Amino acid sequence: MKHIALIGNPNTGKTSLFNCLTGMRQRVGNYPGVTVEKKLGTAYLADGPATMIDLPGAYSLSASSLDERVAVDVLSGHLPGIERPDIVVCVIDATNLKRNLFLAMQIAELGIPMVIALNLWDALEQRGLSIDIVELEKRLGVPIVATVGRKGIGISELRDAISKAATQERCLAPMTWPAEVNEAVNNIHCAADGHTAVPLTDMEVRRLLFDANSAVLDRVQSNHEKVRASISEGRENLRKLGLNPMAAEAVLCYKHLDKLLEGVIKQAGDAPNGPDGTESIDKLMLHRFAGLLIFAAMMYVVFQAVYSWAGPLMDLVDGLKGWVQGIVGGWLEPWPMMSSLMTDGIIEGVGAFAIFLPQILILFFFIALLEDTGYMARAAFLMDKLFGWCGLNGKSFVPMLSGYACAIPGILATRTIEDPKARMVTILVTPLMSCSARLPVYVLLIGAFVEPKYGPWAAGLALFVMHIVGLLVAVPAAYILTKFVIKTKPQPFLLEMPSYRLPRMQDVLFRMWMAGKEFVIRAGTIILAITVIVWALLYFPRPAGLEDEVTKEFYAEHIEPNPASASLLDDPDSELSVELSNTIDAAYINQSFMARIGKAIQPVFAPAGFDWKITVGVVASFPAREVIISTLGVIYSLGGDVDEESPDLMTTLSNATWKEGPRAGTPIFTLPVVFAIMVFFALCQQCGATLAVMAKEIGWKWVAGSFVFQTSIAWLGAVLVYQLGTAILS
């Protein structure tokens, strides 16, 4: 099977073309860092199927960031398990021909047959421009196809061109280098000869000459000094020519491209408002004050919508949960333990979590919308100044923004950051961003305690505030890390602003579908398994005499003073019967394994106002934070707190009171406790999968440090909020 690599600058619509060619859907984004990992698919060409690899977006092959190195690796056949491609499809932004051809010229040196896809052709036409494809094909010597990946235009032509390119083996002619460059390359070759496992190619030697810290130098096993001396000598010769060695390649290449492209780009019509109105919109969107205000307003609207639109759908899921519970409970009535596992454990726990599916869908709808319109790159630009203050730059904001959906892709997206120290700091602070797993926790508590008291607008505002708590801690944390611990140097930030465009509804719906699928799979696997364990720890042990003992105490307290009320116990629906049943349930849960664990740890969380049940929820949530929802669901259901008056978890929590101690009879969930829980969840590192990914990127030592830091700061934040809140409200 043929191997085809797809490469191009970031924001050229490469991923859309990949989707069209392979039929395999992916996330389509507008900012650098979306395509960080390699992605494979099968393209069906006229002469049979071919393996297609979507390479990370790269501006050049100088491989200064990790994802660029992956691209270089694949093209040079150095990546284990991936064959060197037979054909390269170079995706070029038709509106930015010269700059995009710079990368194509570098790939030309690898001698791989090439097809050029002139993508975003519609944007070129909108600007009243046209490219003479026939003439350009003649000058470059490779097939060129005009495409619009987002609309699927030119895809069959591109398929044909790839099939033909495989048989014709047409390569882009590499540029001719001045004699001084060739001489320097020969000298470096001589110096490195015999000191590399595989001889260096001319292209690799030119990387040594032109790049400040070339990764190619790592391949030279010994004799570094001699190689370095020959590189310095070569660079000196370039300086004599009046060329800065670091910029020489670009200067020479663009000179070559100037000649090559002469007369190829033509004015086809009028371009009334500059390039598609993007500049006019950006005047407002990127304004130093208005831009930030618009950004904040937009985020507020998103969280308000996430909060208020989901209500009817949540009721639907809740109704479904109650219905299933009724049916299953009826079937399993003769087997109380099994019935409890299914209704109080699995259905209650998983159902309490699944109820938040609508919010997840709405959140991802907005994330996809903002990405597809091209706004996310503007958000990164706006944040550059803020991040510059804390020693990072806007490039770090892109992974952190991804962290709002999930920290894992955010951490992987840091591979676009060239400076390893800045990358490390970004990885360490990205888990502080409020990922979608925190959303159910916020919605549950805000819905139960903020909305009923202060109305939906305050609820939306509270949700918005909770989403910026992490950022408020991340910025000073990054400042301390960059100034005192890891000590980074200021990095320049270059970001290409894609044109604004209307989002494609299929892509937006696809993002929602993927997020929903992930959520449901999680509910059906990890959440389900943890729920079963939590149920078992709350259900057992079941001491034989406990029920009799509790019943005896209940009689002494309620029946003996008023013997006539004994008949009420014959009716299972009477208030007294329900109270007896709840008392028995509460007695069982109070001596369960989980209660013992919770009560042992509770003193740690007592300064934050948590009771043992919240403590159990917090502890059980360390593998995955959303587990608190199902855990609280199971605790309160098993403890007999879920009844007709408190049919859902929100109502149950609002009715929960302290059973013993100085606060007996008062509500457990006061506003300060609710915000303390939310702040704890906003700041704590409660995700096993994120910790594992971080460990792969930066090692366990840093991860352990980050875990201790985040847990401590979360505890401190929760205690502060509770103590201050209680002091103010009292």
Partner 1 sequence: MLESIVVAAIVLAAAAFLFNKWRKTTSPKKGCGGNCDCHKTKL
Rule CB under 8 A: choose which of 695, 709, 716, 726 binds partner 1: 695
Residues in the chain: 730
Q: Which of residues 441-500 bind partner 1 (CB under 8 A)?
A: none
DSSP alpha helices (H): ranges in 310-347? 311-331, 336-339
How far is Cα 119 from Cα 149, in angstroms, rounded to an integer? 7
State the amino acid at position 656 in one-letter form: A
Q: What are phi and psi of 662, to 5 degrees?
A: -65, -20
Asked whether position 521 contacts partner 1 by CB under 8 A, the answer is no
Contacts of 531 (CB under 8 A, 6+ apart): 345, 346, 349, 350, 627, 630, 631, 634
The residue among 335 and 658 lying less far from partner 1, judged by its C-beta, is 335
Cβ(434)–Cβ(407) below 8 Å: no
Asked whether position 528 contacts partner 1 by CB under 8 A, the answer is yes
Segment interacting with partner 1 (CB under 8 A) among 59-67, 110-118, 128-136, 577-585: 59-67
- C-alpha distances out from residue 506 to 28, 462, 615, Å: 11, 32, 43
Asked whether position 697 contacts partner 1 by CB under 8 A, the answer is yes
Angle at 226 between CA 223 and CA 229, to 5 degrees: 145
The residue among 127 and 415 lying less far from partner 1, judged by its C-beta, is 415
How far is Cα 450 from Cα 448, in angstroms, rounded to an integer? 6
Cβ(345)–Cβ(634) below 8 Å: yes
Cβ(471)–Cβ(404) below 8 Å: no
Asked whether position 81 contacts partner 1 by CB under 8 A, the answer is yes
The residue among 239 and 696 lying less far from partner 1, judged by its C-beta, is 696
Asked whether position 72 contacts partner 1 by CB under 8 A, the answer is yes
Q: Minimum CB separation from partner 1 for residue 688, in Å? A: 6
Q: Minimum CB separation from partner 1 for residue 530, in Å? A: 7
Asked whether position 338 contacts partner 1 by CB under 8 A, the answer is yes
Q: Minimum CB separation from partner 1 for residue 536, in Å? A: 5
Rule CB under 8 A: choose which of 260, 465, 568, 689 binds partner 1: 689
Site string for partner 1, 590-629 (x = CB under 8 A): ---------------------------------x------
Q: Minimum CB separation from partner 1 for residue 196, in Å? A: 10
Rule CB under 8 A: choose which of 696, 708, 712, 724 binds partner 1: 696
Contacts of 464 (CB under 8 A, 6+ apart): 299, 300, 303, 304
Rule CB under 8 A: choose which of 27, 35, 53, 73 binds partner 1: 73
Q: Minimum CB separation from partner 1 for residue 184, in Å? A: 21
Q: Minimum CB separation from partner 1 for residue 32, in Å? A: 16
The closest alpha carbon to 535, from 669, 407, 627, belongs to 627
How far is Cα 132 from Cα 113, in angstroms, rounded to an integer? 22
Q: Which of residues 531-560 bind partner 1 (CB under 8 A)?
A: 532-533, 536
Asked whether position 525 contacts partner 1 by CB under 8 A, the answer is yes
Asked whether position 317 contacts partner 1 by CB under 8 A, the answer is no
Q: Minimum CB separation from partner 1 for residue 431, in Å? A: 15
Map 516-530 to HEC letters. Answer: HHHHHHHHHHHHHHH
Q: Which of residues 22-41 bind partner 1 (CB under 8 A)?
A: 37
Cis peptide before 572 (omega within 30 of 0): no
The closest alpha carbon to 160, from 39, 82, 50, 264, belongs to 50
Rule CB under 8 A: choose which of 44, 323, 331, 335 binds partner 1: 335
Asked whether position 423 contacts partner 1 by CB under 8 A, the answer is no
Count of residues near partner 1 by CB under 8 A: 36
For residue 596, list its beta bridge partners. Answer: none
Instruction: Report residue 640 as tokens.
Output: 């007999």
Site string for partner 1, 188-227 (x = CB under 8 A): ---------------------------xx-xx--------
How far is Cα 615 from Cα 143, in angstroms, rounded to an integer? 65
The residue among 480 and 692 lying less far from partner 1, judged by its C-beta, is 692
Instruction: Name the site residues for partner 1 (rule: CB under 8 A).
Output: 37, 63, 66-67, 69-70, 72-73, 78-81, 215-216, 218-219, 335, 337-338, 341, 415, 525-526, 528-530, 532-533, 536, 623, 688-689, 692, 695-697
